Amino acid sequence: MIMLFSRIRCKNSLSLTTLIFFVFLQCTGAGKLQIASVSVNEQIIDKGISYSITENLIKINSSAHTTTIMEFPLDRAFIQASKSESEVQYKMAAFQFKDKALVECMDQSIEKIEVSNKTLVIRGNLFGETCESTYILRIIPVNSEEINFQLELNDPSLNRVSLSMQSDEDERFFGLGEQFTHFDFKGKKPFLFTEEQGIGRGDQPITTGANLVAGAGGNEYTTYAPIPHYITSRNRSVFIENSGYSKFDFTKDDSVKILFWDSNLEGSLKGTAWVASSPLELIELYTKKTGRMPEMPEWAYGTILGLQGGTKKVTKVVDDAIALKNPITALWIQDWCGKRVTNFGDQLQWRWYADESLYPEFTKFVKTMNQKNVKVLGYINPFLADVDPKKPGGDRFTNPMLDEAKAKGYLVKDIEGKPYLIQTVGFPAYLIDITNPEAIKWTKNIIKKNMIDVGLSGWMADFGEWLPTDAVLHSGVSAKVYHNRYPVEWAKLNREAIKEAGKEGQIVFFTRAGFSYSNKYSTLFWLGDQMVSFQKNDGLPSAVLGMTTSGISGISLNHSDIGGYTTISNPLKNYHRSKELLQRWAEMSAFTPVFRTHEGNRPLKNWQVYEYENSDQVKSLSDQETGIHFAKMGRLHFALKTYIKQLTKESSKLGYPVVRHPYLHFPNDPVVQKLKYQFMLGEDLMVFPVVESGEDEVKGYLPEGKWKHTATGKIYDGKTWVEVEAGIGNPAAFIRMNGKSQAVLEKALIGLR
């Protein structure tokens, strides 16, 4: 390679002292950087943002904080690019990626640094054995705590681009959307792509089994709702606007590297960085840009029973629960559109109108429930199901909506221009192309006419993560970069239908798949399809992490299926919901914003919160003790209504998550940074959920201050580990003494149980 000396120029009136010209070389695989070393007094860019250059760093500084917003190393290339070709394997929304670099620009030069039009502009070249491209990196001040950055390459064939930023050994990294295995990503290499979270995600033996059968086991980074946004222990934050597949490398002590695929299809690599005084301030700044979730209606704070099976069954179960003094405020019936039994269990018909055979006179049924002060919720997703050609004896299923969507060209297409047939779990189906304005209008009309007009007060807006990367879309946008946007636009479609119906603030829909800006459109999230187990990567413990991580990236209202969802019958090992798991999950969920059950995909294999026997004398797995326990947890959750309402109001104004990792309030405590399976509800209630089977005591860490145990009233000093009794029905929670909500919490909780 020919080594070129380069120059740095600065166009402003402030003094600039040039030292000597020389070349920095980095020969460890990180890439070489060619640059003339200079010494620059701090130069103002605009709005309280300045830059300075030292021997080893370009620093972007804030007048409001001593911590730099961003730093770029000068002892190695911090911009790299390549032309690559990828192979993507797709099955059941589980994606496997293989990437081969054809051309690599691993070395960098800086030709000029200047302030132009109140923007810091860094220009130079990228080099490789058979690669060369100019680049421009722009730093644009927004205010004294926020900058936008934009990296552009002039060679459009370069479809992989990476940006490295200086860090240090002690800097920790949190966020990246909804994550189920890790809280701190220091030392990790996560990838971000919205997909099915996987069955097991590393828990054994189920992960191996799921991989052998369908390649659907997942791993420590698979998630429904990744978001390219993180905060750090140095109180700075980075958010990338791009929506392609990405990788983040936090394994180096001195740097962070971000790699995005297909940035050429989006024009450039774009992002925002912030610096603040605390983690909560960073979240406030991030959500000011990306959106905040709305307050919930009054009915959403009670117990929401997730049931299916028709009018007779759900009416009896609701009445029985009310008799046990469970504050039932809503009934969620996912099978309002009809049931379809497959080899995966009880599924739905995926045609979006009421099934009058299960729920005769559906509108009347909804009104009857409303008269009991019970709202009714349904279900929808962006698929339209087809007949199952593999069903023995033939499939009598029909779907007039699918026929209409095909005729009008409202479906995602394959590379041959035909509607893209996708094999889902149980039967084939087609995705609605929501890049088509007419398809959007058509789908919103279905929601307004068949759901809102019949009286539904909300629904699960499922899926969103299934778009194949080789699909052809109406808008012409590449599915590679639209894949992660699809669930966001799906949520937007649902939100617009509600607004057009004049029901904003009265209806709640909950989504599981998401990406950047999901918090702007979704009214509620849920964590998806956890296993009915105590296993860490995909069971009850993972639900705790899912809530605390997602809140950092704007998903402020989140909850889980009480008891989990995914139920597996297998000759080697059954994964069926136990009574203990159901009870422990209910205890954890009592301290979250929404308290909602799910029967799971195999209801008769799972322990349920109700007792019921159908006309064929088939009984649910349950007992009276379970119903009493569940009602008790429902009352506990409802007792927190005033407090949770305060938190959701705060969330809508500031973006703060309702369920929080303790780090958000105690960022300087090194013990807190390592916690994984305890959480705070707001700032004044600490919860130690029991997430292991067979335990009657639970151990957790109380940070600085004094904390009152809600069960005994005993006060504990902070900055210490404590172990307390936590038998079934006695979850461990601690009120922060002298907190602003101490009186509200004591009134709600002390002596309640």
Catalytic residue set: 462, 465, 529
Decide: helix, strand or coil at residue 619: strand
Residue 166 CA to residue 683 CA, distance in Å, equals: 32
Decide: helix, strand or coil at residue 229: strand
The CA-based angle 98-103-108, given to 5 degrees, is 115
* Distant-in-sequence, close-in-space partners of 644: CB < 8 Å, separation ≥ 6: 301, 593, 658, 681
Q: Encode 331-344: b = buried (16+ Cβ within 10 Å), e = exposed.
A: bbbbbbbbbbeeee
Residue 167 CA to residue 169 CA, distance in Å, equals: 7
Q: Tokens representing 636?
A: 């506990």
Residue 312 CA to residue 619 CA, distance in Å, equals: 14
Residue 347 CA to residue 575 CA, distance in Å, equals: 18
Beta bridge partners of 716: 707
Q: Are 610 and 627 contacting, i.e. CB atoms less than 8 angstroms apart?
A: yes
Q: Are 693 and 534 contacting, i.e. CB atoms less than 8 angstroms apart?
A: yes
Residue 258 CA to residue 230 CA, distance in Å, equals: 12
Q: Which residue in the block uniquely carries the two structure tokens 């069960």?
A: 711
Residue 457 CA to residue 197 CA, distance in Å, equals: 28
Of 376, 391, 386, nearest to 351 by C-alpha is: 386
Residue 49 CA to residue 59 CA, distance in Å, equals: 10
Q: Note the helical H segments in 465-570.
A: 479-482, 486-500, 518-521, 540-550
Decide: helix, strand or coil at residue 691: coil
Which amino acid is present at 164? Answer: S
User: What is the H or E stretch that residue 164 is in?
Assistant: strand 160-166
Q: Please report the beta strands in 220-327, taking only residues with DSSP state E, as ranges in sequence order.
A: 226-232, 236-240, 246-249, 255-261, 269-275, 303-307
Residue 224 CA to residue 528 CA, distance in Å, equals: 8
Which amino acid is present at 136? Answer: I
Rg, the chain, Cα only:
27
Q: Tokens representing 503?
A: 């029901």
The overall longest dimension of the chain from CA atoms, in Å, is 90
Residue 334 CA to residue 317 CA, distance in Å, equals: 15
